[in-house]
Amino acid sequence: MKMAIISDIHGNYEALLSVTEDIKKSEVDKIICLGDFIGYGPQPEEVAQYLIENDIPCVLGNHENAIMNKEALANFNVDAMISIEITRKLISDKTLEFMSKLPANLIIENMLFVHGTPPDSINTYLNRLSDDELSDIFNNMEQQIAFIGHTHDPLYCCFDGEVCDFKMLYPGINQIDPSMKHIINVGSVGQPRDGNSDAKYVIFDDAEFTVYLRYVKYDIDKTAKLIQERNFPKYNADRLYQNWVEVLH
């Protein structure tokens, strides 16, 4: 099975359209979304309706949760809070209903899909956990591989039963060890934070046990302009432009 896994679209419809066009070239069997498809970006309704209309399974992200839970919103920074308040005015009742039914995780065969960390956290950042906390997560994880988002940074952590080791995901095909457990961060479609402004997602091939990290260009200027027109914080637009890492495609 070949699966495309997307995450952290954050209302960036232009990035989503470019990524899904790229996915179509790969003839994947399924697309999974790891949450945070709203927040920061100017077109949350269009993104949500695309997921609904194309029947793309999705898990709950912390930004969807913040739309529905004021206590969760209180933990956000100021720009994120403002973005959620603007987002709430841009989405329909149909989208709110869709969000209310999102599961904390999905399990497909020997794969777990969750926004933050296994088994079902939408808020925990994998890269802030201690070695002991990571080992506990891996030891309690029944699946061999988990896919996450949340940090917007494509990398993975592997576990041999004793030691946890973080590794980078590189553009192109990454061979991962089928004898180990893995937690893989698929990067961000709509708001990358790894120093390169391209939209990012992965394709996982469970037969070859490979993770194909894809970099996709999109019209950043169009999204950035709309962010400002809809009165989102200017920082939301500025952070879309990241060029301090040169990536070979």
Q: How many CB atoms lie within 10 A of CB 90?
A: 18
Q: 246 Cβ partners below 8 Å, 6+ apart? A: none
Mean pLDDT score, 161-176: 96
For residues 187-222, one letter each, b for 16 or more C-beta atoms within 10 angstroms of the residue's C-beta and e for the rest, the string is bbbbbbebebbbbbbbbbbbeebbbbbbbbebebee
Q: Is the pLDDT of residue 63 over 80?
A: yes
State the pLDDT at residue 94.
97
And the tokens for 125?
């950042």
Q: What is the pLDDT of residues 99-132, one digit of tens each?
A: 999 999 999 999 999 999 999 999 999 999 999 9
Q: Is the pLDDT of residue 245 over 60?
A: no
State the pLDDT at residue 55.
98
Mean of pLDDT over the chain: 95
Please name which of 60, 46, 53 lies closest in space to residue 15, comparing C-alpha atoms. Answer: 46
- Cα–Cα distance measured from residue 218 to residue 213, given in angstroms and rounded to the nearest whole number: 16
DSSP 139: H
State the pLDDT at residue 243.
67
State the pLDDT at residue 249.
29
Domain 2-238 coded CATH 3.60.21.10: yes
State percent of the chain over pLDDT 70: 97
Q: What is the pLDDT of residues 73-102, one digit of tens each?
A: 888 999 999 999 999 999 999 999 999 999
Domain ranges in the chain are 2-238
State percent of the chain over pLDDT 90: 94
